[in-house]
Amino acid sequence: MSSSMRTMRTTSSTGAGWPYSAGKRRTRIAFAFSQGCSNRSKRSRMRETRRKSVVSVIDRLALDALLIRGMQNIFYLTGFKGSEGSLLVTRGDCVLMTDSRYILHALEVAQGVTVLETRENDGALSKLTDRYGIRRLGFDSLHTTYRMYQRYVEMAPGLEMVPVQEDLEEIRRCKDPSEIMTMRKGLEIHTEAFNRVFEKMAPGRTEREIANELDYAMRSLGAEGPAFETIVASGPRAALPHARPTDRAFREGDVVIIDFGCLYDGYNTDETVTLCVGDTSQELHDVHAVVNEARKKGIDAARAGVSLQHVDAVVRGHIEECGYGDYFRHGTGHGVGVDVHESPSIGPRADGALEENMVVTIEPGVYLPHVGGVRLEDMIVIREGRAEVLTSLRKDLLKIGGNNHASFNG
């Protein structure tokens, strides 16, 4: 066995005949450690069901196996949270390849999965293609570079590589009850964090200070970290949809867009509010009213079976009717889950329809150059005849320094 594949351990009986360089005793210890108790957790059974969905993709596309490089997909299918790894799914086995930094974590969480310690995933893949007789290999094209693609083909002559990114995204589009519950818990954290920081906001505080305090509050309440770089944009900078926080201080009359979320147990949250510092202009009050009504209309339109384009048209149509169509420059929403931006996308060119148990955002915005902007965003879960709003921060134009509380959606 090559030095790059020093130890092979498994959490399933399918790999029992594989060679182990560390010896039988060490193998038995690793096997027992990875198995834990004989009764698998509900979460492990759920991930096994998800892996069966991947096998269905393999069957439908006449593949021999599917190679997954995206860490969010690997987490979704195995529970593994390392920063480096690959997952090979065949009809009869599932092999998680990672290096020595993560091997104990992999053995602990990836129940029912063969775990392979290797320094070079590419070299391990070459051996696995021989072992499983793989000639037609699917791969997640979003996470596989052209250089990786070339190496795979060079190491396994005759291997046909088939991109399957959309098929993998399809598996994750609709959320099961445990996923929705996890995001609810994440939203509890992110809401409490915002309320704590909101109480300390005042003229003279900087965008960077507020962003840092919000990130810290989410972590201190149990989040793994922010879901993305927290956006705090004040005054004219609020006209920049994805402005990064700066040392600009809040000033009287500013509007402030805050777009934030947390990562909790592998799942993301995402919400946007717009605040004002003291009294802002009538123009921005009017813009806020337009955006808030568009948000409400979008939520009312969102239900199972409704086309993605229709939801966007309802939101965009209202903004256009009010004369601000040229200043709404992005899509109406997106899916949220193990990625903060995932399928489906809600926009004017989106294909498909909303399905029950999708979790998506509705986030209209109007951005006036050199003046400011307003964006309001909620996370919703799609039900058969309605949308259930998951987020709970108020969406009226809350005044920084005012004697009010940010919670409770309105």
Domains detected in the chain: 3-172 (3.40.350.10), 177-400 (3.90.230.10)
CB 294 within 8 A of CB 286: no
Q: Looking at residues 241-246, what average pLDDT do you find?
A: 96
**pLDDT at residue 404 in the model:** 58
Measured CA distances, 383 to 187, 371, 376 (Å): 19, 38, 21
Mean pLDDT of the chain: 89
Segment among 5-9, 130-134, 195-199, 238-242 with least mean pLDDT: 5-9
Residue 19 has pLDDT above 60, yes or no: no
Residue 41 has pLDDT above 70, yes or no: yes
- Mean pLDDT score, 379-401: 95
Residue 296 φ/ψ region, left for φ over 0, alpha for ψ in the -120 to 50 degree band, beta for the rest: alpha
Q: Residue 403: pLDDT band by 50, 70, 90 thresholds?
A: low
pLDDT band at 153 (very low <50, low <70, confident <90, very high): confident
Q: What is the pLDDT of residue 22?
A: 32
Q: pLDDT-derived band of residue 79, with 50, 70 and 90 as boundaries? A: very high
Out of 58-62, 123-127, 176-180, 265-269, least confident range: 123-127
Q: Decide if pLDDT at 146 tops 60.
A: yes
Question: Which pLDDT score is estimated for 125?
Answer: 82
* pLDDT above 90 (res 240): yes
pLDDT at residue 32 greater than cutoff 80: no
**Cβ-contact 407, 271 below 8 angstroms:** no
Q: List pLDDT tens digits, range 377-387.
A: 999 999 989 99
Confidence category of residue 396, pLDDT binned at 50, 70, 90:
very high
- The mean per-residue pLDDT over the stretch 61-70 comes to 96
The span from the CA of 196 to the CA of 132, in Å, is 54
Name the nearest CA neighbour of 105 among 128, 127, 85.
Answer: 85
> Is 382 within 8 Å of 356 (Cβ atoms)?
yes
Lowest mean pLDDT among 19-33, 182-196, 299-313: 19-33
pLDDT on residue 42? 81
With bands split at pLDDT 50, 70 and 90, how would you rate the model's confidence at 45? Answer: confident
